[in-house]
Amino acid sequence: MNNLTIQKRTLGVTFPAPGQAEVLVWAPFAQQLEIILNNGNTSLPLKKQEFGYWHLVTDQISPGDRYFLRLNDDQEVPDPVSLSQPAGVHGPSQALDLEAYQWQDTAWQNLPLQEYVLYELHTGTFSPQGTFEGLEAKLDYLKELGVTAIEIMPVAQFPGDRNWGYDGVFPFAVQNSYGGPEAMQRFVDACHQKGMAVVLDVVYNHLGPEGNYLGAYGPYFTNKYNTPWGPAINFDDAWCDGVRRCFTENLLMWFRDFHIDAVRLDAVHAIKDFSPEHILREMKQQVNALMEATGRTHYMIVELDLNDNRFINPLEEQGYGMDAQWVDEFHHALRVTSTGEKSGYYADFSGIAHLAKAYEDAYVYDGQFSEHRQKNFGIKAEHNPGQQFIVFTQNHDQVGNRMLGERLGELVSLEMQKLAAAAVILSPYLPMLWMGEEYAEPNRFQYFVSHTDPELAEAVRKGRKAEFEAFQAHGEAPDPMAEETFLNSKLQWNLLEEEPHQTLFKYYQALLRLRRELPALRHLDRKSLEVTCDETKKVLILRRWHQEQQVVCLMNFSQEVQEVTIPFGVKHVELVLDSAAPEWNGPNAANTSATEGEEVTLQPESVLVYCSSPSN
Query: Is 397 annotated to bind ligand?
Result: yes
- First-last CA distance in the chain: 49
Sign of CA dihedral 613, 614, 615, 616: positive
Query: Is 600 annotated to bind ligand?
Result: no
Query: Is 328 annotated to bind ligand?
Result: yes
Q: Could you give the count of Cα atoms lying within 13 Å of 497 in the half-sphere of its Cβ?
A: 3
Q: Looking at 151, 303, 441, 605, which residue is catalytic?
A: 303
Query: Is 268 annotated to bind ligand?
Result: yes
**Does 525 participate in catalysis according to the annotation?**
no
Closest CA relative to residue 145, chosen from 526, 436, 383: 436
Q: Looking at 151, 236, 266, 282, which residue is catalytic?
A: 266
Query: Is 269 annotated to bind ligand?
Result: yes
Helices (H), 147-263: 180-193, 214-217, 240-257
**DSSP strands (E only) in 267-318:** 299-302
| Burial (Cβ within 10 Å: 0-12, 13-18, ≥19) of residue 417 | buried
Query: Is 205 annotated to bind ligand?
Result: no
Q: How far is CA 318 from the centre of its chain?
A: 25
Q: Which residues pair with 506 in a beta bridge?
A: none
Query: Is 267 annotated to bind ligand?
Result: yes
Query: Is 329 annotated to bind ligand?
Result: yes
- In this structure, the strands spanning 573-578 and 389-391 are unpaired
Query: Is 89 annotated to bind ligand?
Result: no
Q: How far apart are CA 242 and CA 357, in angstroms?
A: 43
Find the helix packing angle between 414-425 and 501-517, rounded to 10°: 20
Q: How far apart are CA 110 and CA 148, in angstroms?
A: 10
Query: Is 59 annotated to bind ligand?
Result: no
Query: Is 398 annotated to bind ligand?
Result: yes
Query: Is 49 annotated to bind ligand?
Result: no
Q: How far apart are CA 206 and CA 224, in angstroms?
A: 14
Cβ proximity of 532 and 590 under 8 Å? no
Cis peptide before 500 (omega within 30 of 0): yes
**Does 497 participate in catalysis according to the annotation?**
no
Cβ proximity of 432 and 533 under 8 Å? no
Query: Is 161 annotated to bind ligand?
Result: no
Point out the residues that are catalytic: 266, 303
Residues annotated in the binding site, as ranges? 264-269, 328-332, 396-401
* Binding-site residue set for substrate: 264-269, 328-332, 396-401
